[in-house]
Amino acid sequence: MKKYTLNLIFASVILSLLSCGNNQSADTRTIPVEILKDKIAGGWAGKMIGVTYGAPTEFHALGKTFEDPIKWVPADVRGSMWQDDVYVQLTFLMAMDQYGIDAPAKKFQELFAKAGYQLWHANVQARKNYYDSIFPPQSGSPEYNLHADDIDFQIEADYIGFMCPGMPQTANKIADKIGHIMNYGDGVYGGIFLGAMYSAAYFDNDISRIINQALLSIPAESDYAKIVKDVILLHKQYPNDWRAAWNELNSKWGKVQICGAGTTFNIDAKLNGSFVVMGLLYGEGDPAKTMEITVRCGEDSDCNPSNAMALLGVIKGFSGLPVEYQNAVKAMGDSLFVNTTYSFNKAVDKTLQYAQKLAVENGGESTASELKIKVQQPQAFPLEVAFPKLVFDKKVNVFADQGWIMKGKWNSYGYFNQWAKREIKDQARVSGTKGDEISFSFDGTGVSISGNWFKDGGKADVYVDGQLKRTIDCFFNFAKQQHENMDIYHVTNLPNRKHTVRLVVKGEKRPESEGTNVYVTEAVVFKTADKINENYKFSFQK
């Protein structure tokens, strides 16, 4: 690995002098290539360090803070080679290498869908959508992705900000295309907000100012912007007590509405993004303190410190990180991340090249020693709301009597769980016989029918209130994954009254499937609320 010899203090002095020089126009910034590369390296290293720091705690604290000891040593950073926080966005870099920055979103979805690594939530739905011929932006839309507000794009948009120093509008344009592969609304805003913070961090080391600057890239009326502003407010009210701030924030925003509805499992982008902001504000620029607080906020507690530490990496540069962190990353500098052609060193080099290319394309100048960037003012992304005022009502298991009617031979599916070392009975109802029907009736404005995506999955026609909506396919056998209890069909924005969803087995399958089975596990019912959090006041506001 190439050595980064400039320390943070020296880099900051040079940047300050360059920014204030007489030949420096008000809308440009000049950054030496070595400092730019140092900051890019710091961002990638921070990403890797943070995700492995929090990995053992992921989802161990749901709806509460994590209070157990955090066991991590810098050598653990090697585990980042198997983390989706890193390998997904490296695939997007591979797509850029192969097809160009301006390639259509479908090309990025294709490489991502065909990669050999495993995926979850909005990402795995986007992979499934690709094989069902549902392409961006529909693949991330609320109609075809119940995980539209999930954290996925937020944890894999770092590279966009890394390659857009001082160019938040350019970052927005790239994020618009990539983010809608798997997300929508707040799910996309998470990636835009993080990318805008990285973009600002190349020329600013004030964390509060960076956060406020990044807010200008997302719509102020979005819930994502509102929760970040709440964290800022709570930090001012409780400047030395992050737990008090966390308790207030969780009381207002912690209830799970869509993905994970009816549980304490919360993978919502805006809540987890607020924990990134909380860790940054209370961490005060200290890497260890920032990571610990971010992890202790709970929920997706490996992704969140990964984002927070990546921002500190850009601010400080690789050379400004603790020496033991630097040495741990250097030791694996040429190791390839799973199912990619990228190592840390290659990621740094390619990101630098793309940063130079984008700067020139947007009115800047590039030489061997420095990069002049035409600085862009943030512009807010248009407002998107995935599930307006939709709230969880109830879950109804398929073996319950309420609402379910079956015609034909729907058998009980069960299996022996190797991990739990016990028999799982009545996991799903299953039929592969043409013409067999299963229906569910409910009162509300939306419903998700859950089932299994298996290698013997087949097709079914879905009717809502007697009207054919579309054909679904329950086959899945990609990257050695199959999935239980997935959303196989959902519909929202219905009139608030009684509705019936009916699935009719077609007895058909795609060529690679081993069967025609349709598995059904439960229904998740939603209603529409008049107001969500609109009149909520924190304790100090009452």
The closest alpha carbon to 218, from 209, 228, 208, belongs to 228
Residues 127-181 pLDDT 10s: 999 999 999 999 999 999 999 999 999 999 999 999 999 999 999 999 999 999 9
Question: Which residue type is seen at 462?
Answer: V
Helix (H, G, I), strand (E, B) or coil at 497: strand
Measured distance CA(63)–CA(276) in Å, rounded: 16
CATH of the domain at 490: 2.60.120.260
Q: Please, which pLDDT band fits residue 419 given cuts at 50, 70 and 90?
A: confident
CA distances from 292 to 29, 50, 72, 241 (A): 34, 10, 11, 14
User: Are residue 366 and residue 311 in the same domain, yes or no?
Assistant: yes
Residue 227 lies in a domain: yes
What's the pLDDT score for residue 5? 36
The better pLDDT of the pair 171, 542 is held by 171
What's the pLDDT score for residue 26? 56
Overall average pLDDT of the 438-452 stretch? 98
Question: Is residue 170 within a helix (H) or strand (E), and if so which, with residue range?
Answer: helix 168-182
Overall average pLDDT of the 93-104 stretch? 98
Residue 468 buriedness (CB in 10 A; 0-12 / 13-18 / 19+): exposed
Overall average pLDDT of the 84-98 stretch? 98
Residue 18 pLDDT more than 50?
no
How much is the pTM?
Answer: 0.94
Residue 15 pLDDT more than 80?
no
Overall average pLDDT of the 239-250 stretch? 98
User: Are residue 254 and residue 111 in the same domain, yes or no?
Assistant: yes
Residue 7 pLDDT more than 60?
no
CB–CB of 261/392 below 8 Å?
Answer: yes
User: Are residue 361 and residue 401 in the same domain, yes or no?
Assistant: no
What's the pLDDT score for residue 140? 98
Mean pLDDT rounded to a whole number for the chain:
94
Query: What is the residue-wise DSSP string for 60-73?
Result: SSSSS---S-----
The closest alpha carbon to 94, from 400, 362, 373, 338, belongs to 338
Q: Please, which pLDDT band fits residue 14 given cuts at 50, 70 and 90?
A: very low
User: Are residue 444 and residue 353 in the same domain, yes or no?
Assistant: no
Overall average pLDDT of the 344-368 stretch? 98
CB–CB of 370/113 below 8 Å?
Answer: no
Measured distance CA(85)–CA(113) in Å, rounded: 16
CB–CB of 171/160 below 8 Å?
Answer: yes
User: Are residue 14 and residue 163 in the same domain, yes or no?
Assistant: yes
CB–CB of 35/15 below 8 Å?
Answer: yes
Residue 163 lies in a domain: yes
User: Are residue 208 and residue 278 in the same domain, yes or no?
Assistant: yes
Measured distance CA(403)–CA(390) in Å, rounded: 21
99: which strand partners? none
CATH of the domain at 303: 1.10.4080.10
CB–CB of 154/47 below 8 Å?
Answer: no
Residue 9 pLDDT more than 90?
no
Measured distance CA(61)–CA(96) in Å, rounded: 37
User: Is the CA virtual torsion 437, 442, 448, 454 positive or negative?
Assistant: negative
User: Are residue 143 and residue 282 in the same domain, yes or no?
Assistant: yes
488-504 in b/e form (b: 16+ CB < 10 A) is bbbbbebeeeebebbbb
CA distances from 157 to 76, 86, 309, 359, 443 (A): 23, 10, 14, 18, 38
Residue 505 lies in a domain: yes
Question: Is residue 86 within a helix (H) or strand (E), and if so which, with residue range?
Answer: helix 84-99
What's the pLDDT score for residue 531? 86
How do beta strands 459-464 and 522-528 pair? unpaired
Residue 341 lies in a domain: yes
User: Are residue 312 and residue 433 in the same domain, yes or no?
Assistant: no
User: Are residue 445 and residue 474 in the same domain, yes or no?
Assistant: yes
Helix (H, G, I), strand (E, B) or coil at 480: coil
CB–CB of 501/439 below 8 Å?
Answer: yes
Question: Is residue 169 within a helix (H) or strand (E), and if so which, with residue range?
Answer: helix 168-182
Of the residues 327, 348, 374, the one at which a domain ends: 374
Residue 472 lies in a domain: yes
Measured distance CA(348)–CA(4) in Å, rounded: 12
Measured distance CA(451)–CA(485) in Å, rounded: 5
Q: Please, which pLDDT band fits residue 359 given cuts at 50, 70 and 90?
A: very high
Of the residues 374, 400, 432, the one at which a domain ends: 374
Residue 136 lies in a domain: yes
Quote the number of domains for the chain: 2
Residue 458 pLDDT more than 50?
yes
* Residue % of the chain over a pLDDT of 90: 92
Please, which residues have CB within 8 angstroms of residue 403's CB and are 6 or more apart in sequence?
Answer: 396, 440, 441, 442, 523
Q: Please, which pLDDT band fits residue 425 given cuts at 50, 70 and 90?
A: very high
User: Are residue 354 and residue 299 in the same domain, yes or no?
Assistant: yes
Overall average pLDDT of the 256-264 stretch? 93
What's the pLDDT score for residue 16? 42
Radius of gyration for the alpha carbons in the chain, expressed in angstroms and rounded: 24
User: Are residue 326 and residue 201 in the same domain, yes or no?
Assistant: yes
The closest alpha carbon to 129, from 150, 151, 144, belongs to 144
What's the pLDDT score for residue 416? 86
User: Are residue 394 and residue 441 in the same domain, yes or no?
Assistant: yes
Residue 173 lies in a domain: yes
Domain encompassing residue 80? 8-32+40-374
Overall average pLDDT of the 302-307 stretch? 98
Residue 440 buriedness (CB in 10 A; 0-12 / 13-18 / 19+): buried
Structure tokens at 382: 């248009």
Residue 384 lies in a domain: no
